[in-house]
Structure 1
């Protein structure tokens, strides 16, 4: 089926007047959720995901995003972010079948009409049958429920496994703060033993290992337990085992330990380990302040990670409120001053309409086995 949706260069992202959009065909659905939550979200943060349009003369036909269009009109918007793409009838129907913004299940009558239109657009009968079977088996996506605030200061452990530590490729800069150790050579520090001592002392913060090859190995502790590790080379996250050299072992690294408040460390862990709830939100499609207002109402614990041409920024959240906000130029190291709460430096990265935001939140993931990490890195 994917051959009908082959990549194309004849598309663009634009803001299109709602008055120029004609709703395309939409299959009948059952069990649709109310439009009010989508309407409230649009009023709060704007339209986050563009709809898909195909040009029709001097107008546009809606391919996917029918609920978004209805909610945008109800909200009184004048324009809508859209991907405008040249596509035939078969490709448009396939895109409609895969529309993740739709709600509910396609009815029996809707599947019959889908089949008729697919046949008419030249899709072979066997592929039509496969697609209809997939539509019938597709689950209904339930709306995300707001989480209540944690009843106490103890971290809540996720019941489902998070993404692997270090997954993804965006650069997530570390928070600054007064270091406990600063730039001490691993020629004089037994790094594996240092990690064990920090664990025994209930350390909360980061251990940063900087090599002459511009590689950074980072271990993040909360209350003496290791919750995340990350390896970066030249500002890009890579899947590598940690380098934890003992004295006299190469490579020789600079070791910095930086205590952090528990909410800051927890937000950083979620930025590095939890899958993005919202990913790739383009700066031209949303307002950061409204997004933060929604996360505040949701009492979210986690992080907003901004990636822009001028650098990267992070807003760490606890119960929906910022606990640290900072921006870094590419490759810039953390400073020795604690991070502030003002989000303006992060917002400035998006001021020119360029850049994207990922939102990572959820309960704190389970800790990682520190002894196993040390054994894998050192063989001891």
Structure 2
């Protein structure tokens, strides 16, 4: 497929920090990046990391891994429709949550609190650390040695970075990612596909869990319209089994279709107005080009507000989030005060950090260890350290 002129092109790619020979199997640089992400330890453990519901609450709820796969599917379909670099888009969608700690945002809040006096913690920053330092799979370098375009997309897929986290700031000085400009159009698509995926699929999981009810959705923009149309379709079908399940899936499918269709239409309008001649014209534009129409953008914000009020802060979710946050807080406290309890591999990393005689470096090793845990491993590690169970 011929790529649009403003897509990221192989002919103008900026290469890798550590030069490598081209793939002998004929893969593009971004197919190679995607494959490295998929085979990474951080990607594999996403299967046991919380999205909204803690992993052991049920086998059918989404995890960080299934969420990332759903983001990639949505992002790649949009990229194909707009004649963009599908491989780069898919790579960024799959990699966007590699730095998430156990127990979702509850675990992130716990690590932010623990590191508040030492440059804080963010899962976006941690994702970059993961692919540039923490993965240790290759003889010649730490990290995955992803292309410049993949690292750029990870660093600023949410837009220009005006107040970078310390690691991003230091890395950008070492290997400049132009963090004050926008990212490629492929990175922008991966970012907004994340919103589409978690808004629609969190509605799905909330209904499945019984925390949300169909009658609560009828006045919600986009969702209410999709529900109404799904119910009309159901009226003409005599299937009796699993009617609620079928209705839920029909509604969610229509929500995704509406959001994606609007996004493609508005983005094409933005591209026509900008008239970019290459990918740098996208990067140095005055605004992101991948957007919903104003009406759908406002509706999407209302969906977000609804989910925060009725799902993310539901008392049942709050209980499990509070337990997860408490567990991560206590793990951080125990290990930061007793660093000799870290496993041997992490003791070696600790020794290197302590050579620099900075407490923040030693604490960052503790954070790297905890952030890489699955929910299940964090619970088991806490029990090993305390002989207590906190998420029973």
- Pair in the same fold by TM > 0.5: no
Structure of greater Rg:
1
In terms of fraction of residues, the more helix-rich structure is 2
Give the TM-score of the pair, scaled to structure 1: 0.25
Greater percentage in strand: 1
Question: Which structure would you say has the larger RCO, counting Cα contacts within 8 Å and 6 or more residues apart?
Answer: 2
TM value normalised by structure 2 = 0.24
